[in-house]
Amino acid sequence: MKSFRGPATSRTEGAGFFKGAGGFGSPVPFLIPALLIVFAVLIFPILFAFFVSLFEWPLSAGAGPRTFIGLGNYVTLSRDPGFWNSLWLQLGFIFIAIPIEMVLGFLAALLLNREFRGGNLVRALLLLPVFFLPVVSGMTWRFMLQPRYGALNNLLVALGAPPTTWLAQARTAYAAVIAQDVWRMWPFVFMLMYAGLAGIPDELIEAAEIDGASYRQRVFSVIIPVLYPTILTTLLLRIIDALRIFSEVYVMTEGGPGMSTTLFSLYTHRIAFGHMRMGLSSAMAIFLLILSILFAVTLVRKNLSLDELEQRGGGR
């Protein structure tokens, strides 16, 4: 009688995985429910979105006629200035907001990675923004930036500055969207960095100190290299999350003024439910998926090689 062997640990064993498929004792029947669930909730929606992206499907037709147009929607997108505008805004958002969040989160983690009276309370309070619902955060910022009764303008006016219509000008509205994201998400970076820092053995830092390393040298030559896997994982999580940003911007600016804050997901939503073009919006969704995968693969392949990380992490 065969006994359960646990997961395959080598390519040879893996190759034999399907040999007894369907037979008693094979793991395949046990995996089928899980695979079906994975297919239903993960693979099928992607396949379906790709399939829909090959059709001209006006939502006003309901479940009615659709026209197969092959890659026509992707061609349309490539010629659509709105698409390129939203893509550049999205990339700009990622390349501005996330570095700020990373730096702030890292610095705060460095600063608070020590014991002091009330330290736990301070660290807990710092995390508050990350628990805000994005919609609530967006609304809060919208009212805070309101030129007549918003808190920020009242503060500026009290300091002698003229009131500013933050959300009514393209540049300041875009900056406000970024500021909102930084405010809400830098504690998330802090949380991961702090956890990473707390895991660094004290001996490592002490050894560097004994060797005469300055604080700057300890940070750049010891802490950051050891923290490298955490930094990259955080970066990857933030990029994927930032690519999907929607609700907070929607309630803050609805993509305006004009198209100045119409980030990628807002434009996708607009195409789907404003223009009712499901095929085109699905093509945008697939493009976003590919973009996410590209970011992830680039980061993982170039920087998250396990061997390299082990070396950087000092073989921890």
Q: Does 239 bind another protein (CB under 8 A)?
A: no
User: Smaller CB distance to another protein: residue 48 or 215?
Assistant: 48
User: Smaller CB distance to another protein: residue 6 or 162?
Assistant: 162
> Could you tell me which of 26, 251, 266 has the C-alpha nearest to residue 139?
251
- Out of 26, 28, 59, 183, the only residue in the binding site for another protein (CB under 8 A) is 59
> Could you tell me which of 283, 235, 232 has the C-alpha nearest to residue 73?
283
Q: Please, what is the minimum distance in Å from the beta carbon of residue 169 to another protein?
A: 8
> Could you tell me which of 263, 238, 111, 262 has the C-alpha nearest to residue 184?
238
The dihedral formed by the CA atoms of 155, 181, 309 and 195, expressed in degrees to the nearest 10: 60
User: Smaller CB distance to another protein: residue 225 or 256?
Assistant: 256
Q: Please, what is the minimum distance in Å from the beta carbon of residue 128 to another protein?
A: 25
User: Smaller CB distance to another protein: residue 61 or 294?
Assistant: 61
Spatial distance between the Cα atoms of 162 and 58, rounded to a whole number of angstroms: 47
- Out of 95, 273, 305, 314, the only residue in the binding site for another protein (CB under 8 A) is 273
DSSP character at residue 220:
I
- Out of 2, 79, 117, 148, the only residue in the binding site for another protein (CB under 8 A) is 148
User: Smaller CB distance to another protein: residue 119 or 258?
Assistant: 258
- Out of 33, 64, 160, 315, the only residue in the binding site for another protein (CB under 8 A) is 64
Q: Looking up tokens 């093509």, which residue turns up?
A: 283
Burial group, residue 257, by CB count within 10 angstroms (0-12, 13-18, 19+): middle
- Out of 168, 207, 224, 290, the only residue in the binding site for another protein (CB under 8 A) is 168
Q: Does 51 bind another protein (CB under 8 A)?
A: yes
> Could you tell me which of 292, 288, 294 has the C-alpha nearest to residue 50?
288
Q: Which helix (H) or strand (E) holds 160?
A: none
Q: Does 52 bind another protein (CB under 8 A)?
A: yes
Q: Does 225 bind another protein (CB under 8 A)?
A: no
Q: Please, what is the minimum distance in Å from the beta carbon of residue 285 to another protein?
A: 15
Q: Does 10 bind another protein (CB under 8 A)?
A: no
Q: Does 215 bind another protein (CB under 8 A)?
A: no
Contacts of 53 (CB under 8 A, 6+ apart): 73, 74, 279, 280, 282, 283, 285, 286
- Out of 73, 77, 270, 285, the only residue in the binding site for another protein (CB under 8 A) is 270
Backbone Cα Rg of the chain: 25
> Could you tell me which of 272, 237, 249, 245 has the C-alpha nearest to residue 49?
272
> Could you tell me which of 21, 252, 38 has the C-alpha nearest to residue 146?
252
Q: Does 258 bind another protein (CB under 8 A)?
A: yes
Q: Please, what is the minimum distance in Å from the beta carbon of residue 189 to another protein?
A: 30
Q: Please, what is the minimum distance in Å from the beta carbon of residue 286 to another protein?
A: 14
Contacts of 236 (CB under 8 A, 6+ apart): 295, 296, 299, 300
Q: Does 70 bind another protein (CB under 8 A)?
A: no
# chain residues binding another protein, by CB under 8 A = 38
Q: Does 33 bind another protein (CB under 8 A)?
A: no
Name residue 190's amino acid.
F
Residues of this chain that interact with another protein (CB under 8 A) are: 18, 39, 43-44, 47-48, 51-52, 58-66, 146-149, 163, 165, 167-169, 253-254, 256-259, 270, 272-276
